[in-house]
Structure 1
Amino acid sequence: MPDFALELSFTPESTAAVLAQWEALKAAGLPSQADHRSMTNAPHLTLAAAVRVPEVAVLTGREEVGPLLPTRIVTRGLVLFGQGARVTVAHLVEPDAALATAAARVRAVVPDLRHPVWTPHVTLARRVPRTVLGDVLDVLYATDAPDELVCDRLRWWDPEQGTIQDVAVAND
């Protein structure tokens, strides 16, 4: 079963910048998040993912993250996750101190986090065979990468209900 998650979504402009990179990878015949057809598939920054995200985490997100929206995150280059024959390629992103603190408060109330150490990132391609990693990086370096992304909403993904609910929206 997929994890429950609290995620930051982006403004249309920021979303378009990430989608352009997804589409460039897809057009080159390479693995891309554009290949993922789930209704939840959109560029985002995951704050917390776990088998269960309790209501207190959703409320904490609304209280701690909501007032910060919209907020900018700076891209700091590409990062690879994984071991073995396949990796995930993502933008490493850096939130400001206020967002990092708010994220830590949200994560503190989520038991059994999927990733206990938070590495803020925006995924570009998953399950990339190492044999094509050079091609993936060539395509990404040849496309315009955003210098920053603007987060404008916090959303809660409930895989049991199959729903995505906005928890906080900029200027709410």
Structure 2
Amino acid sequence: MASPENILLHLSQDDEQQVRDVFKRLEERGFPAQQQTPHITITFSPNMHDDVVQSAAELLPPVIPASFQRVGSVVFGTKRKQTVAWLLETTDELEIAARQISALNPDGRGPRWIPHLTVGLRLPREIIPEYIRALDELTSAHLREFTAVRAAFWRPRDRELTVLAGTKESSNSR
């Protein structure tokens, strides 16, 4: 399956580097390497509709940069491969905008949005408890807040990133 198109938020360079450092330390402990650029997805689709991207370009600039607080861990998936993420909370303004954008996406989940930052992608189900334990041990107490400095539309098929709000500096690619 090809990677979907996304409307997503990128972290500040400092926050992104701290997350990448956690990835590196997990890998040093023998867990699968995490290559993804740390980000927060608002909505995704095999082929994002132009009106969804246009609405994101209108709704997100007033709420970016945005602060997120890490409030727990969550596991997504019910099959053999699962995803571990940090559950996040943000401002009411961003939450409302994200839900409006999500509701416009016919391939989305309606007006639902679960803000999260993936820290373990497609992990074998049997290592999840050990992975979460290691993640808790390696995550410093001060890594509880993140700042999203950029909103973008990512089209992986063409490796095309369109900045919708915020700064053009940030992460390497996606």
Query: 1:102 Cα deviation (Å)?
Result: 0.6
Deviations 1:34-83 (A, max 9, x none): xx3xxxx3100000101221222222112211111111011111111111
User: Which of 147, 151, 155 in structure 2 is aligned with 1:150?
Assistant: 147
- Residue 141 of structure 1 corresponds to which residue in structure 2? 136
Residue 53 of structure 1 aligns to a residue whose secondary structure is coil
Distance 1:84 1:144 in 2: 26
Distance 2:113 2:65 in 1: 21
- Residue 7 of structure 2 corresponds to which residue in structure 1? 6
- Residue 159 of structure 2 corresponds to which residue in structure 1? 162
Counterpart mapping for 1:107-122 below 5 A: 107-113=102-108, 115-116=109-110, 117-122=112-117
Under a length normalisation based on structure 2, what TM-score does the superposition of the two structures give? 0.86
Instruction: Check if 1:106 corresponds to 2:101.
Output: yes
- Paired residues of 1:18 and 1:43 also in contact (CA < 8 A): yes
> RMSD across aligned C-alpha pairs, in angstroms?
1.8
- Paired residues of 1:5 and 1:157 also in contact (CA < 8 A): yes
Residue 30 of structure 1 aligns to a residue whose secondary structure is coil
Tell me which stretches of 4 or more aligned residues in structure 1 moved more than 4 Å. Answer: none
Distance 1:154 1:147 in 2: 21
Percent of aligned pairs with the same residue?
25
Under a length normalisation based on structure 1, what TM-score does the superposition of the two structures give? 0.87
- Residue 78 of structure 2 corresponds to which residue in structure 1? 83
Distance 2:134 2:152 in 1: 30
Instruction: Check if 1:94 corresponds to 2:89.
Output: yes
Counterpart mapping for 1:28-43 below 5 A: 28-33=29-34, 36=35, 41-43=36-38
Query: 1:85 Cα deviation (Å)?
Result: 2.8
Query: 1:170 Cα deviation (Å)?
Result: 4.5
Residues 54-63 or 93-102, more deviating: 54-63
Query: 1:142 Cα deviation (Å)?
Result: 1.1
- Residue 61 of structure 1 corresponds to which residue in structure 2? 56
Query: 1:162 Cα deviation (Å)?
Result: 2.1
Pair 87,160 (structure 1): closer, same or farther in 2 beyond 3 Å? closer
Amino acid at match of 1:163: E
Gaps of 5+ in 1: none
